[in-house]
Amino acid sequence: MSTQAAVSLTNVTKWFGDVVALNDVTVDVGSGVTALLGPNGAGKSTMLRLLCGLTPPSQGTIRVLGRDPRAEPSLDGRLALVAQQEALPESFNAITFLTHLADLSGVRSPKDAAKACLDRVELDPADGRRLKTYSKGMRQRVKVAQALLTDPEVLVLDEPLEGLDPRQRLLLIGLFQDLGVEGRTVLVSSHVLEEVERFGSRVVMLAQGRLAAEGDYHDIRDLMDDRPHRIRVVTDQPRPLANALVQASAVSQVSFPTEGVLICETEAVGVFRRAVISEARNVGARVTEIKPLDDDLESVFRYLVQHR
Amino acid sequence: MTATARPQQRPTGSVMAAAKLAFATVATRGRLITSVGGVLFFVVLALVLQTSADLTQDEGREVAVGAYFLLLLPLMCVSNASLAFGNAVQDGTLVYIWLRPIARWKLALAHVAGTVASLLPMIVALSLATFAFGSSPRFVGSVALASLLTALGYSGPTVALGARFKRAPMMALTYVILIETILVGLLGRISIRNYGIAFFTRLIGDDAAFFTNLVFPGEDIDPSLRPSMLTAVLVLTLVSAAGVGLTTLFLKRADVA
């Protein structure tokens, strides 16, 4: 038994003519849900296509479950993709389409498998309408359902939440989380950061075809030491507390945007957290909230993208 | 990081499963109506010629069969075969087929088989029509067998075209019109249709005179346009096999959108 990342890209570069879509990217992705982030044109879809074997890398090595996905498409059904494009074969209805694909994958009882997958995304297997009549949200769920047919160990999802209404988004986010908890590797690309935060905190960030960061985004934020952390403190005595924190060298800058609110900037979050409690006790201030203002995914993402 | 054990063997897709999908993709209601309707049109044409052009029943039947081999069969073959993969290539749904655990050669072979199967209603309709015209069982069987072999010959390379080029239907149609019709005198050796027709005329033997004159008008027929039965079978089978091989290669090298 060997221990390895489920998905591994090593020095992968992909160019289309003169355009470098992905530039010397090395990244490992393990089990659970990982979000792939990046602005438009960052190379997200190219990376997902590469690791599904849909296009060969210009340079570098790609391994999924230790195998080459270009040489072994879908790795016996262990790898599945929800592609970004909306197109589906229009002349089929959902159950027929999925039954054919299950049959094509060697799944035992293809129709039962197709029904189960449609049920899982809350689509009616008895719906006889052709796929061309489906709304964008329904098409999106058909795409997710077809990816589940082979019970894949690695699931690659390219913008899977696009076109879904809020309830369907919740449904699919829950589904992806469940798949991650089951030990599968789920790699989800999205540009809606608020939703990505709900998948979990593990991210791979791309910017201009390069790997900008990978890992837990809270950890990434902590590593951005050239930028002070901004922390909001709600207290009944903002000025005495601010003075005490400055005296204790726990903050580099403070401001008072509104009554009872203190915005602190600090390079050392750990030191600040300890200081704010002790100094509040010393000055007799009652602190009701301490909240990081730039520890969210969006802040980390903006910082990394703007600084490349 | 995750622990990855030696993977267990999983089931993979079969040729039959892929052929069913190919058949379902190609054999749309519109194409079935067009192909069977085409046969009916030639039957009516034969009946009209019998009454207006003073042809015998046999002559009328052979005009209909000749027109079928010259026009309807090639057009339906290239139309269906070019769309077997062509539909998926054009509308961006190839990814759903490509990312399935099935060998590429099986996919290629199955799409040729599915295309030939999609032409069966037309072939059966023509066989029944010739039988209704009082043809001998040998003639009916020859029509069916030659149709199948010709369909196989067309389907292999045209499925490959569809897997590689978005304009495959237009390219295949150009081949039929330019190579097999306008330039057939010069390029008869590379006409799939001619090998199919040669096979048919050899099958029906002595009764082939009228039919041969219809298909190859003129007194000085280039011998290369009339290959032997063995040559016809070999060429059509090999062309189809080459098409399967090319499709396999195209699928392996495909840059799937």
Residue of B nearest to A67 (CA): B7
Average pLDDT (A101-128) is 95
Cα angle: A142, vertex A112, A105; to 5 degrees: 70
Query: pLDDT digits over B77-128, tens only?
Result: 999 999 999 989 888 899 999 999 999 999 999 999 999 999 999 999 999 9
Q: Which of B1, B14, B104 sits opposite A106 (nearest CB)?
A: B14
Instruction: Please say whether the beta carbons of B159 and B84 come within 8 A.
Output: yes
Distance CA A81, CA B95 (A): 9
* Higher-pLDDT residue of B239, A301: B239
Interface predicted TM-score (ipTM) over 0.95: no
Tell me whether residues A73 and B14 touch, CB distance under 8 A: no
pLDDT at A61 over 70: yes
For B174-205, the DSSP string reads HIIIIIIIITHHHHGGG-HHHHHHHHHHHHHG
pLDDT bin (cut points 50, 70, 90) of residue B219 is very low
HSE, CB side, 13 Å, CA atoms: give it for residue A35: 25
**Mean pLDDT for all residues in chain B:** 88
Query: pLDDT digits over A2-26, tens only?
Result: 446 899 999 999 999 889 999 999 9
- Judging contacts by C-beta atoms under 8 Å, the chain A residues touching residue B103 are none
Distance CA B177, CA B79 (A): 13
Tell me whether residues A66 and B4 touch, CB distance under 8 A: yes
- Judging contacts by C-beta atoms under 8 Å, the chain A residues touching residue B12 are 76-77, 105-106
- Judging contacts by C-beta atoms under 8 Å, the chain B residues touching residue A215 are none
pLDDT bin (cut points 50, 70, 90) of residue B2 is very low
